[in-house]
Chains A and B, each alone.
Chain A
Amino acid sequence: MNFDYTQIFDYALLLMMLAVGVAVIRLRNLFAIVMLTGVYSLLSAAWFVSLDALDVGFTEAAVGAGISTVLLLAAMLLTSRECAPVSAMRHWAAFAVTVAAGCALFYALPDMPQYGALASPANSGVGMDYMMRTAEDIHIPNVVTAVLGSYRGFDTMGEVFVVFAAGVGVALILRLTGRRREDDV
């Protein structure tokens, strides 16, 4: 059995993400925390690329590391620059929840299919069907685009309307001009 050396990348990136996560918990300066969440997104984007999930990595880099960081910075400017100290009780409660969720995840881990396994649900069934049929049905090389645009066009329309609803919601609550009411009067 030959060892897949790209795994080392995955573990290294996951360790870096863990370190960034711990740093985010320890820090009190909101600016540094916002920047570190951007770093976290960039690391996870790199990790997705290493897992051959290029589309997901792309989105994570653009949305997570780019836009979210800018929006969080803009939101941070409206509040204070330091976060208030949190009581030890709440730390322990959060720790308990994290440990419980982590144990549950590790308990479920053996049921997951092996990475890249041929018999996994992602590689059998309808996924393989799309791979086989895209070339003759749609005649474009990128199966992801074919699935998102045509086979699952209705889903994508739902997504667009979710995005649209988010935009309308923000525009209604915060107003696009973004000025506070007092300024207009």
Chain B
Amino acid sequence: MTPHLILRVVAKLLIPFILVFGFYVHFHAKYAPGGAFQAGVILAAALILYALIFGVDAARAAVPPWAVRVTMALGAAIFSAVGFVTMALGANYLDYTPLHPNLELARGQYIGIVVVEIGVLMTVTAVIIAIFYAFAGRSPEITEEEW
């Protein structure tokens, strides 16, 4: 029998819910407390739980370090790119108003916030995972008797 059978089963059950909750926190931030920073940490926590139960190598196979590196930079790039797009449309840097012609309901602001938050989510998730990989990869594997 594999060791930590209960841990493995419970973790397998929990991880999808943690991911869904992370996305809920992200996309529901329009109405409820939350946002991309918290959501990013929760998404990263799902992978960290996976790594704790199934080993860091399994986590690295699921989310390879190169993807983490690319996502980290891409998120920050998306955020600043939105600023340049608004500048190209004739507004100030990060003034989202011209992103959509509907000024009545401020759709431009809405679109801007959504895109920018996706950038934040990508960077925060990737950085937390990167820090975890960097630390966890150096730690010796926990031996069975220490559990």
A141 CB within 8 Å of chain B: yes
Residues of B near A136 (CB, < 8 A) are 106
- The winner among B37, B45, B112 for most chain A CB atoms within 10 A is B37
A77 CB within 8 Å of chain B: yes
Query: Considering only CB atoms, which chain B residue lies closest to A157 in the complex?
Result: B79
A33 CB within 8 Å of chain B: no
A160 partner, pick from B44, B48, B75, B128, beta carbons under 8 A: B75
Number of A-B residue pairs at CB separation under 8 A: 163
Contact (A66, B113) CB under 8 Å given A164-B72, A168-B72:
no
Asked if A62 contacts B109 (CB within 8 A), the reply is no
- The stretch among A3-11, A96-104, A119-127, A147-155 that forms the contact with chain B is A147-155
Minimum distance in angstroms from B20 CB to a CB of chain A: 15
Q: In the assembly, what is the distance between CA of A138 and CA of B73, in Å?
A: 28
Asked if A161 contacts B33 (CB within 8 A), the reply is no
Q: In the assembly, what is the distance between CA of A58 and CA of B48, in Å?
A: 18
Residues of A near B137 (CB, < 8 A) are 175-179
Residues of B near A23 (CB, < 8 A) are none
Q: Is the interface of A mostly helix, strand, loop or mixed?
A: helix
B135 CB within 8 Å of chain A: yes
Residues of B near A171 (CB, < 8 A) are 69, 130, 134
Q: In the assembly, what is the distance between CA of A154 and CA of B94, in Å?
A: 7
A71 partner, pick from B106, B113, B131, beta carbons under 8 A: B131
Residue interface bits A154-184, CB-to-B below 8 A is 1, else 0? 1011011101101110110111111110000
A70 partner, pick from B29, B38, B119, B132, beta carbons under 8 A: B132
Q: Is the interface of B mostly helix, strand, loop or mixed?
A: helix
Asked if B45 contacts A164 (CB within 8 A), the reply is no
Q: In the assembly, what is the distance between CA of A171 and CA of B31, in Å?
A: 35
Q: Count residues of chain A with CB under 8 A from any CB of chain B.
A: 49
Asked if A71 contacts B93 (CB within 8 A), the reply is no
Residues of B near A167 (CB, < 8 A) are 72, 123, 126-127, 130-131
Contact (A164, B75) CB under 8 Å given A77-B139, A177-B133:
yes
Asked if B32 contacts A142 (CB within 8 A), the reply is yes
Instruction: Add 19 more A-B contacts to A62-B42, A177-B137 (CB < 8 A).
Output: A54-B33, A55-B34, A58-B33, A67-B132, A138-B109, A139-B105, A139-B106, A145-B30, A153-B94, A153-B116, A156-B79, A163-B124, A164-B75, A164-B127, A166-B127, A175-B137, A178-B136, A179-B138, A180-B138
15 pairs of residues in contact across A and B, judged by CB atoms under 8 Å: A58-B38, A62-B38, A71-B135, A74-B139, A77-B142, A78-B138, A137-B106, A139-B105, A153-B94, A160-B79, A160-B123, A164-B72, A164-B127, A174-B134, A177-B60
